[in-house]
Each structure stands twice: as structure tokens, then as C-alpha cells.
Amino acid sequence: MSTPVILLLSGSLRAGSSNESVLRTAQAVAPPRLRTVKYGGLAALPHFNPDDDTDPLPPSVAELRAAIAAADALLVCTPEYAGTLPGSFKNLLDWTVGGSEISDKPTGWINAAAPGRGGGAEATLRMVLGYTGARVVEEACVRVPVGREATGADGLITDPAARQRIAEVLGVLAAASERTAESG
């Protein structure tokens, strides 16, 4: 069986965000039986315009869709802005609606917000992923609150329990992608 590839999608443009720390930590703790790839083109995506969702796609959109197509599963970590997804990340998701790359792709998320926060982003993410056809894997949708004190100078989360939970989510997504491959 081939090595599952999990594409890591950050909803944050801020270099020092806790969402970035979660995804950097995911790369560091990924079980050896899988490979993680972090998508880094969020800022390069043009504003979504249905008139531009035709061949040839804008190069950054083609790169996004190719990265999604090459992945076996997706892991999202996004902040909440004004009770919903950041506009830049909603824009990324809008660009996936017109393609089929995300359809039935096992997808999960880690909500790094402090307790009592982030629910609006989670609800919006769930709704938009429904439009894209992504297969939300409930066991891979978790809360792992990450405060600034939990991140080391290297940008990685230092808390062993949080690191373990992130590794578990990756394992769940890898298993879901393997089941998809076996049934497809």
C-alpha cells in the first residue's frame, strides 16, 4: 500500500499564528506511515470570480487544485475572524467548489482556539465543505486549544498531550484515506 499524503491547509496568513504552529507540529509528529504536505499559497490566490473558474485556471488556483488532487486527505486549521472563516480562507474554499478534486476527500480540522471560541469558523467550515463535496471525518475534527505559551521558539507546540492529539488526528485521516482507496 502506498504512503498516504495529507495536505495541510492553514486559514491564517499570520506567520506566528497558533494555526501555523498546529500544522508545523503535525509535520513534526506525523507517523512514519504517512506524508504531510503543507500548502503555502493562500496569499497568492486571486479573489474568487466565477468568470475566472474556467480553463486555463489562474496559475495559483491550478496549483491549489493540483495539491488537493495529489493528496489522499486534508487537514485544516483556521482561525475565526468576526465569527466565521477568515475571508482569505473562504476564498480558497470558494476556488475548490468548481473542481472535483475535493469531492469525497477525507477531511478533518483542528480548532486551536481558546475554549468558547472558534465555533463560528467550525460551523462555516462544515457548511462550505458540504458544498465542495469533501467527506468530513468526524473523528478528525477536534479542538486542541493552543496558547502562545504552548509554542516553542521553533514554532512547534511543546505540550505532549496536544502533540499526541495532533498525531492521532493524522492517523485517523490516514486510515480514512486508506479505506477510501480500498473501496474506490
The enclosing domain of 123 has a CATH number of 3.40.50.360
The partner residues of 73 in beta bridges, in order of sequence, read 6
Cell numbers describing residue 17: 499564528
Which residues on adjacent β-strands are paired with residue 86? Answer: none
Q: Coil, strand or helix: which one is 130?
A: helix
Mean pLDDT by 10 residues, the chain (184 residues): 91 91 97 94 96 96 97 96 95 94 96 88 95 96 89 94 96 91 70
Q: What is the pLDDT of residue 13?
A: 94
Rounded Cα distance between 74 and 107, Å, is 5
Q: What was the pLDDT predicted at 184?
A: 59
Here the cell at position 11 is 486559514
Q: Which residue type, as a one-letter code, is found at position 137?
A: V
Residue 112 vs residues 1, 19, 141, 170, 175: alpha-carbon distances, Å: 32, 6, 11, 15, 23
CA angle 110, 172, 154 (to 5 degrees): 50
| pLDDT given for residue 180 in this prediction | 75
Return d(Cα 121, Cα 129) in angstroms, integer.
Answer: 12
Residue pointed to by grid coordinates 494555526? 19
Rounded to whole angstroms, what are the CA distances from 161 to 56, 102, 167?
45, 30, 10
Distance CA(101)–CA(180), nearest Å, equals: 14
**How many distinct structural domains can be found in the chain?**
1
- The pLDDT score that the predictor gives to residue 26 is 98
Q: Domain limits at 13?
A: 5-183
